[in-house]
Chain A
Amino acid sequence: MNDALFIEIGSAQQQKYGEDCFGDTIYSKKIPEERRIISILSDGLGSGVKANILSSMTTRMAMKFVESNMELMHSSEVMMDALPVCQIRKISYATFSVVDTQLDGKTRIFEMDNPPFMLIRDDKALNVRYREIYSERWKDRTINISQVTNLEEDRIILMSDGVTQAGLGNRLYPLGWQRQGCLDFVLEKIRKNPTISASDLAQAIVQEALNKEVEKKAGDDISCVVLYFRKPRKLLVLTGPPFDEKRDAEFAELVSSYDGKTAVCGGTTANIIERELCLKCEVDKTSFDEHIPMCSTMEGVDLVTEGILTLTDVYRMLKEGIDPDKNNGATRLAKLLLDSDKIDFVVGTKINIAHQDPNLPMELEIRRNIVKKIVRILQDKYLKEITTRYI
């Protein structure tokens, strides 16, 4: 059963007030051949550019070492040797938390100086026992190692001390929010919404930490990573009419036989599905937007949007972040994509002659190209499992 386990990784960050860049770094990587995912959070000493460099170096080095299964103590010594020593405090410093997890559920966690990770199972936080190891050369550094076997619906949460110390000095939270405060918040969130996605939860934690701060100005870099172990959520995206009209029926059949959510992108595509499956499809006026054509609603299909313009805008948002206050076809599709784990694209390759008119804006790309770009960014940046089929 564990074979079917999927890990959703979501993270959120807020830089220290007044700084331009993050002092913490989050780096996650999927190694498909080994069915393994590694996620690292590092907090660099101080804030701003210096901290950013320290923490980026740490995450990159740690990733290389963990990936190649190098001996842990030795690799952390190498890392500490490599990091520049702080002029003021005389320590080479960046903390890290590493989660190295395999899809059959075996997970190892290494932590140095970050607040201890949280493991949430059945709405409760589990206390995980850990082993401490020390370095000969760097006496004051200890690394905690823990190992857990993850089950479905587990969540692992990593955070930087910006979260636990949020609100430090605020009259309500003289010692900061504390790990316990954060834990209570997380449990409450999960109780209210048991299937909350990893990215939503990470976002909520960072936002809440920020709310605790004096005048909502972050006193330190605040970062959080959530790993959510669960059954994969599947999504089928149909876009474009099949090259050969004779395959329209087979194409539409894919929608009715799919065991997951479905989205149809393209006016003509929607017309084909409507015709072949005898479904009623109506334009949804609540999705009006000046730049993106409206969505439609169709029974049995979760989302119906226009094609190329929507996909182009989805690609832009996947790169730059989803526009927060819009509710047009593109934001709906982008959210749907991010909420899914396994996405199957079926791309019809018929070319719409009208789109090749040189008078039309340049953004009108060939469908295959824009889908390819979306697939790549979903795989690389969001670690989704994707299949693409051309018809």
Chain B
Amino acid sequence: MANKVKVRICVGTSCFVMGAAQIQSLEFNAPADIADHIEIVEERCMSLCKDIKRKYRNGPFVFVNDELVEEATYEKVVGKIREQLKKS
């Protein structure tokens, strides 16, 4: 089996209130097709929120492997994971 997709979720304050908590639930109830192929890592504030306006859009910020998902939602992240899995 290919390497696991690494999902890094920012759980800093603003990402958390904007919905990172829902994305965290991937750990417990991910869709069956991807459940075994992901590795969830929570990170303390990745400091991306400090550069909103200049560089980034809004949080929550999630990295799927090395690709950044901005304004992430559960669906967006699952979509991105599937994309990555297809690639590998």
Interface positions of A (Cβ within 8 A of B): 267-268, 270-271, 281, 283, 285, 288, 290-291, 293-294, 296, 306-309, 352-355, 357, 359-361, 363-364
| Partner pick for B50 among A293, A354, A361, CB 8 A cutoff | A354
Contact indicator A270/B13 (Cβ below 8 Å): no
Closest to B41 in A: A283
Cα A293 to Cα B42 with chains together (Å): 10
Contact indicator B12/A267 (Cβ below 8 Å): yes
Is the C-beta of B84 less than 8 angstroms from some C-beta in chain A? no
Known contacts A267-B45, A283-B44, A352-B50; A288/B24 CB under 8 A? yes
Number of CB contacts from chain A to chain B under 8 A = 70
Residues of A within 8 A of B78 (CB): none
| Partner pick for B44 among A306, A354, A363, A364, CB 8 A cutoff | A306
| Partner pick for A309 among B17, B27, B47, CB 8 A cutoff | B17
Which residues of B (1-41) have their CB < 8 Å from a CB of A? 11-14, 16-18, 20-21, 24, 27, 41
Residues of A within 8 A of B47 (CB): 268, 271
Closest to A267 in B: B45
Residues of A within 8 A of B49 (CB): 352-354
Q: In the complex, what's the smallest C-beta–C-beta distance from A224 to chain B, in angstroms? A: 39
Interface residues on B, range: 20 to 34
Contact indicator B59/A354 (Cβ below 8 Å): yes
Q: In the complex, what's the smallest C-beta–C-beta distance from A282 to chain B, in angstroms? A: 10
Contact indicator A306/B18 (Cβ below 8 Å): no
Q: In the complex, what's the smallest C-beta–C-beta distance from B29 to chain A, in angstroms? A: 13
Known contacts A267-B44, A293-B11, A361-B17; 4 further A-B pairs (Cβ under 8 A):
A267-B11, A285-B27, A353-B49, A354-B59
Q: In the complex, what's the smallest C-beta–C-beta distance from A277 to chain B, in angstroms? A: 15
Q: In the complex, what's the smallest C-beta–C-beta distance from A350 to chain B, in angstroms? A: 10
Closest 5 pairs (CB-CB, A-B)? A267-B45, A354-B49, A267-B44, A267-B12, A354-B14
Closest to B13 in A: A308
Residues of B within 8 A of A357 (CB): 14, 52, 58
Q: In the complex, what's the smallest C-beta–C-beta distance from B26 to chain A, in angstroms? A: 12
Cα A290 to Cα B44 with chains together (Å): 16
Contact indicator A294/B11 (Cβ below 8 Å): yes
| Partner pick for A283 among B11, B13, B59, CB 8 A cutoff | B11
Cα A288 to Cα B14 with chains together (Å): 17
Contact indicator A360/B11 (Cβ below 8 Å): no
Known contacts A290-B21, A291-B21; A355/B44 CB under 8 A? no
Residues of A within 8 A of B42 (CB): 283, 285, 294
Residues 46-63 of B, flagged 1 when their CB comes within 8 A of A and 0 if not, give 010110100000110000
Known contacts A288-B24, A290-B21, A291-B21; A352/B43 CB under 8 A? no
Q: In the complex, what's the smallest C-beta–C-beta distance from B25 to chain A, in angstroms? A: 8
| Between-chain CB contacts (< 8 Å), 10 pairs | A267-B11, A268-B12, A291-B21, A353-B49, A354-B14, A354-B52, A354-B59, A355-B14, A357-B14, A360-B18
Cα A12 to Cα B87 with chains together (Å): 61
Known contacts A268-B47, A281-B44, A353-B52; A364/B21 CB under 8 A? no
Cα A359 to Cα B27 with chains together (Å): 27
Residues of B within 8 A of A354 (CB): 14, 49-50, 52, 59
Known contacts A353-B50, A354-B59; A270/B18 CB under 8 A? no
Contact indicator B14/A360 (Cβ below 8 Å): yes
Contact indicator A360/B17 (Cβ below 8 Å): yes
Residues of A within 8 A of B52 (CB): 353-354, 357
Known contacts A291-B21, A353-B52; A309/B45 CB under 8 A? no
Q: In the complex, what's the smallest C-beta–C-beta distance from B62 to chain A, in angstroms? A: 14
Contact indicator A267/B13 (Cβ below 8 Å): yes
